[in-house]
Structure 1
Amino acid sequence: MFEKKHSSFKSPDLKAMQEIVINSRTRIYVEAGEDPEEAKERYLSRLENKKP
């Protein structure tokens, strides 16, 4: 009857991105030209907002 549309997700190319180490278990990736300190601050501020 109805054909299900397949979902396709494209992962970003991590080779073209810059890795930022938050702690020993956490790493985030941002675009190559971004400021690593600013990206780290944004990530940590989001974590603080989630905590009850």
Structure 2
Amino acid sequence: VDIRVAPGTHATEAAVNKQLNDKERIAAALENPNLMYMINRCLEPTYYY
């Protein structure tokens, strides 16, 4: 999965994209329960009634 910042939405777009797709950073994030909780919350479907 590639995650990218939309062009023109961040002052340091290239640096952020590089950090988001760094394999070592991703591996470290997967070991952090707080980050995993936040990631899973972002991936949950949202239901509006």
TM-score scaled by length of structure 2? 0.30
Point out the structure with max Rg over C-alpha.
Answer: 1
TM-score scaled by length of structure 1? 0.29
| Bigger strand share | 1
| Bigger helix share | 2
